[in-house]
Amino acid sequence: MTFYVTTPIYYANSLPHLGHLYTMIVADAVARSKRQQGIETFFLTGTDEHGINIERAAQKNGRTPKEQADYVVNYFTKMTSAFGLDTAHGGYDIFMRTTNPFHYEGVSELWRRVAQAKTPKGNDALYKGHYEGWFCAPCAAYKTEDEYVKAANAGDPPTCLIHETKLDRVSEESYFFRLSEYDEALLGLYESRPDFVRPEARRNEVKSFVAGGLQDLSVSRLKTSVSWGIPVPDDPNHTMYVWFDALTNYITAIGFGNEQQEKEIGFEKFWPALHLVGKDILRFHAVYWPAFLMAAGVEQPRAIVAHGMWVDPTGRKMSKTLGNTIELDILNKFFPINAIRYFVLREMVFGQDGRFGYENLIDRTNSDLASGLGNLSSRTLTMIHRYCEGKIPDGSITDENRLAAKRAGVEDESAISNFISHARDEFVRHSEDLAFSRALEEAWAVVARADKMISDAKPWDLAKDANQRQTLSAVLYRASETLRWLAVLLYPVMPTAANEIYKQLGLGDGAGSIDPRTLEWGSLSAGTTIEEVKPLFPRIDKAKTMEEIKQESGAQSQEAGAGQTAQPGSGQHATEADAVAGVANYIDITDFAKVELRVAEVKTAERIPKADKLLLLTVDVGEEKPRTILAGIAQHYEPEKLIGRKIVVVANLKPRKLRGYESQGMLLAASIGEEGKPVLATFTEEVPNGARLK
Ligand code: MSP
């Protein structure tokens, strides 16, 4: 049995960020989990190096396109090594580059096959025509009217809805793929293989997109407009559309259409692949790619699984074009790899978007890892050193000691072994579904269970009582056996930390080669000599680290400003305190009830000397005395016009000193556009001062 997993190949126009790292981490966890089960696995990642976007980035940076790609690949090499994702660390098997000569050969072969193919309706799958329309270089995609915003001036180009950048006008001869005639075949594919596109919600989106009718797809550009790419076989005046070229990497990498890779890896051996992609590029993978493969007569992928996007604290997708990325250099400098892996896999609920914040990462590292798993491991092993001469104790309790154990609050062994077996089954099931967040919840339920067992049994007290020798041994055996299971389960998520736990248990380096489904309770041998206890997850000092990150981010954005790497404004890191858990995290009604929103009437309003943004207001909130509130609205509201206006204030906000005044609340306003123009919340009906908003 073999397994093949891929990440998208990343554009070589700019350096990777957290969003890119994320798909690699997911793929790496999948690959490790398959390998752990003894399945021969091939894991592909790499770079997408052709097309206008790379050509432009190269030009901007004073490089040739190849130099630009090499520069980015160099960084990838460095970073994937630092994050333990490269081959040397048991990660990917190939770093695919679309500039590899074997890829040219393979893509040309696929093109030729498509060029000879007929559509299901019997027409030529490929034809030459004329393309007229708008193209987004960062998306590498043609845009229909509902995918762009028209410019205010009739003569100006529209802007891409995703990237907020100007589109290119294309009007030229082009080869077209007759996608319009593949709709039924594609719908048939989605119908016959419900797991082909996942998750369900994405599958439905894809289905309705296809059911809405497909347009033929322009699959080449004139060489005179885009020269950096693979020439169309037998028509070198045309360059292949970069997505045709890029998608094909998944098969050329393992030997489709070229001998070199076929010999080394083997297309027959590994295809079909599981494609992991961000939801932003699902259409290319779930519509265009299957249609190309149908035309060429190549087997379809195993599945296409789309994950959500990492968004910044304001909810925008993290991207270089928007300049709101989390840089890998910073992650690498301030956070341990295992903590980053754990955080992203735990935090991003499968299929949904996730909000990234450094503070959140620090909190999780400290609570779940340092105080949770790390503490469980170190306290257990420390007690084994202290009370059992550094050897795993025997876990059995003989009949005559059972009562004493019960008295000490220690339950039957089956209670914990059943609990952990069930958690293991769930963990494995969720991991197979790529629902790592759910899987990790199961694992942490085990951590909590073992912690509770220790706190209830109080081994430090048992050690003082000679009659409780067996009870003490049993508790410590159970804790260490639990740790062994956790090390095996967690290996795909945090390979080095899991191996470290395994090693400290005296079991060597092998957590990655044990199939979790074969774990049996009680297989940890009594008498095994454990190793020295080393901390697994040092606590992170939040205030200090946040300050250092702020400084580092500032330094980086200044460097980026000097021209180097096309990272506009990368100083805008998601460091705000409001960088909270997940976008999908709802608040409870009781959370909302904590906020006291009240109607207020502005009594006085004046400017504050030397503070051109602030107004000093007194407002009547229906209390004995009016309150003072400072509001940053001076550039948008004339003070005198505010008098008598009914507004909404947060009445229970902690008072705060600003410019020598105490602000006793906050007023509510909508924030419009990039500069955040405030528009005060107000009422169109009569409302008494002090009325509460519920
Ligand atoms: N080159 C194409 C893919 C070709 S695959 C045959 C491409 N490259 S990309 O560099 O722009 O992005 C690739 C992938 O990076 C996204 O689909 C996604 O998997 C990941 N991400 C990029 N930004 C992301 C986030 N903000 N959040 C999560 N993942 C994101 O598209």
Q: Which atom of ligand 1 is nearest to the CA of 48?
A: 1
Closest residue by CA, ligand 1 atom 10:
10
Give the length of the chain. Answer: 694
pTM beyond 0.75: yes
Contact 410, 457 (CB under 8 A): yes
Q: Which atom of ligand 1 is nearest to the CA of 325?
A: 26
**φ, ψ for residue 325, nearest 5 deg:** -90, 160
Out of 320, 430, 573, 646, pick the active-site residue: 320
Out of 103, 136, 285, 573, pick the active-site residue: 136
**Centre of ligand 1 from the C-alpha of residue 326, in Å:** 14
Q: Which long-range contacts (CB under 8 A, 24 or more apart) does 116-124 make?
A: 117/295, 117/296, 117/297, 119/178, 119/181, 119/182, 119/295, 120/181, 120/182, 120/184, 120/185, 121/181, 123/178, 123/181, 124/178
pLDDT at 588: 66
Out of 50, 160, 388, 430, pick the active-site residue: 160
Q: Write out pLDDT tens, residues 684-693.
A: 788 889 999 9
Please name the helix (run of DSSP H) or strand (run of DSSP E) that holds residue 239, with its range, or none. strand 235-240
Q: Which residues of 169-208 are buried (b: 16+ CB within 10 A; e: fewer)?
A: ebeeebbbbbbebbbebbeebbeeeeebbbbeebbebbbe
Rg (CA), the chain: 30
Counts of helices then strands in the chain (DSSP H, E): 25, 27
Closest residue by CA, ligand 1 atom 7:
10
Query: How far is Cα of residue 118 from the mean position of the Cα atoms in its chain?
Result: 40
162 within ligand 1 shell (Cβ under 6 A): no
Judging by beta carbons within 10 Å of its beta carbon (0-12, 13-18, 19+), is residue 580 exposed, middle or buried? middle
109 within ligand 1 shell (Cβ under 6 A): no
| Nearby residues of 492 by Cβ (< 8 Å), 6 or more positions away | 28, 29, 30, 32, 33, 36, 431
Q: Cα(51)–Cα(229) distance, rounded to whole angstroms?
A: 6
Mutation probe of ligand 1 site: the residue of 22, 242, 243, 572 with most atoms within 8 A of C-beta: 22
Place of tokens 């902690």: 654
312 within ligand 1 shell (Cβ under 6 A): no
388 belongs to the catalytic site: no
22 within ligand 1 shell (Cβ under 6 A): yes
Query: How far is Cα of residue 66 from the mean position of the Cα atoms in its chain?
Result: 29
23 within ligand 1 shell (Cβ under 6 A): yes
| Nearby residues of 418 by Cβ (< 8 Å), 6 or more positions away | none
Q: Which residues of 366-379 are buried (b: 16+ CB within 10 A; e: fewer)?
A: bebbbebbbbbbbb
pLDDT at 557: 54
**Centre of ligand 1 from the C-alpha of residue 7, in Å:** 9
pLDDT at 573: 29
The answer to whether the bond into 272 is cis (omega within 30° of 0) is yes
Mutation probe of ligand 1 site: the residue of 45, 48, 279, 280 with most atoms within 8 A of C-beta: 280
Among left, alpha and beta (phi > 0; psi -120 to 50; other), residue 44 is beta
Pull the structure tokens for residue 42.
Answer: 């091939």
**φ, ψ for residue 581, nearest 5 deg:** -35, -100
pLDDT at 559: 45
Contact 231, 224 (CB under 8 A): no
19 within ligand 1 shell (Cβ under 6 A): yes
Pull the structure tokens for residue 206.
Answer: 């894809």
Contact 252, 102 (CB under 8 A): yes
Mutation probe of ligand 1 site: the residue of 5, 7, 23 with most atoms within 8 A of C-beta: 23
pLDDT at 344: 97
20 belongs to the catalytic site: yes
**Residue spans of the chain under pLDDT 50:** 558-585
Q: Write out pLDDT tens, residues 609-620.
A: 777 888 899 999
How many other C-beta atoms lie within 10 A of the C-beta of residue 478? Answer: 26
Q: Cα(480)–Cα(601) distance, rounded to whole angstroms?
A: 64
310 within ligand 1 shell (Cβ under 6 A): yes
Closest residue by CA, ligand 1 atom 8:
10
320 belongs to the catalytic site: yes
**Centre of ligand 1 from the C-alpha of residue 572, in Å:** 20
Describe the strand order of the beta sheet including 2-11 as a list of residue ranges: 94-97, 40-48, 2-11, 274-278, 303-307, 197-198
